[in-house]
Amino acid sequence: MTISERVNSIGESITLAITSNAKKMKALGEDVIVMASGEPDFDTPEHIKEAAVKAIYSGFTKYTAAAGTEELRNAVAGKLKRDSGLDYSLKEIIVTAGGKQALFNAFLSILNDGDEVIVFRPYWVSYIEQIKLAGGKPVLADLSSCIQNPDNFEKYFSHKTKAVVFNSPSNPSGEIIPENAFRLFSHICAEKRVYIISDEVYEKFIYDGTYSVSPASFSEQAKSITIIINAFSKTYSMTGWRVGFAAGPESVIKAMSAIQGHQTSNACSIAQKAALAALESSQDCVTKMVEAFKARRDYMLERLSRVPGVVCGKPQGAFYLFPKVSALYSDRITDSLDFCGKLLEEEKLAVIPGVGFGMDSHIRFTYSASMEDIEKGMDRFERFCNKYSNSK
Ligand code: GLU
């Protein structure tokens, strides 16, 4: 009896695995600082929780339409109009069990076996595995060289290219694709009739007066090939509720709904009511969270700048830092997995190895942890790096 080749070819989610391991150590009484999984440490806002409680007591506990309730899809349409000036009908929107399901069902809907999907490195861990599960082939691309010269972007296309994944702001680098380059990329995709999968999960987490745009807003042509992926998880600190959404061409959304109908039926009815409250109420909770993240980012950047052998750019979005640490590699620390393993073992600090994002020279911190934990975490990190840089 064997496991299918398709599933055998994928690994577990490194972000979830490391976080769960670190949380287990913590539960056993170990003094572990977890700066691993991208999960806001803030509680879900009260008014969102109240909407869920109300849903339970009013008996809103049955199946909904596979694509989500009309009221929530209407609210999503309102959000897309408000934030990005985009018009979507209800048939062009689907509510999913988190951004991950939206993304996965998008890949399943558009990929045939052997179709290629261009993904920029560093990439979020699940893109690669989801593409492979859907029968596709990830083609890794270098974003900076494409931004410098769009001819480089064109080089990654072949007659098998079916889609390009954009994630701006990016997990793990926090990088925001400059609007002019993004516009050019989407123009190239439109000309080649290749789908754009735009993962906009971190759109609200932006700093220093920068802004992020959806490629669907560049032109009608760009909109016609773009599948927007978004979620409530990060924006409203609702990771466990599992609600996300996608907006895109009616044919794709119809296919995604059909898959979902056979797969999870619908996103949790109660969580959909909570998500509705999130969209329809004041957005102050988001603003407060973003302000706190900015202060944490600045603090961490300052601390990291003083650590020998560590180089970290200033990200303008998301809530991650992705420093290069390979200057500290030696026969004592061989790669990012080893680095993070030893950091956890010796200093009880959990972060994610860059190899999970396709860049073994780096590691990823999240600053979705309390300031107190961040301060302690930075002390431990500095001590660890000093130890290994002196031992070389
Ligand atoms: N997206 C978050 C992260 O990258 C949560 C974990 C996951 O879904 O991978 O840490």
Residue by residue, pLDDT tens for the chain (392 residues) are 888 888 888 877 888 888 888 888 889 999 999 999 889 999 999 999 999 999 999 999 999 999 999 999 999 999 999 999 999 999 999 999 999 999 999 999 999 999 999 999 999 999 999 999 999 999 999 999 999 998 899 999 999 999 999 999 999 999 999 999 999 999 999 999 999 999 999 999 999 988 889 999 999 999 999 999 999 999 999 999 999 999 999 999 999 999 999 999 999 999 999 999 999 999 999 999 999 999 999 999 999 999 999 999 999 999 999 999 999 999 999 999 999 999 999 999 999 999 999 999 999 999 999 999 999 999 999 999 999 986 55
Place of tokens 């929107």: 93
Which pair of structure tokens corresponds to residue 378? Answer: 């930075």
Ligand 1 mutation pick, 10, 12, 13, 15, max ligand atoms within 8 A of CB: 15
Instruction: Say how far apart CA 19 and CA 72 lie, in whole Å.
Output: 31
Q: DSSP characters for 93-155?
A: EEEESHHHHHHHHHHHHHPPTT-EEEEEES--HHHHHHHHHTT-EEEEEEHHHHHH-HHHHHT
Ligand 1 center to 191 CA (angstroms): 33
Nearest atom in ligand 1 to the alpha carbon of residue 125 is 9
Which residue type sits at 293? F
* Cα of 62 vs its chain's centroid, Å: 29
pTM more than 0.85: yes
Nearest atom in ligand 1 to the alpha carbon of residue 39 is 5
Task: Evaluate: CB of 171 within 6 angstroms of ligand 1.
Answer: yes
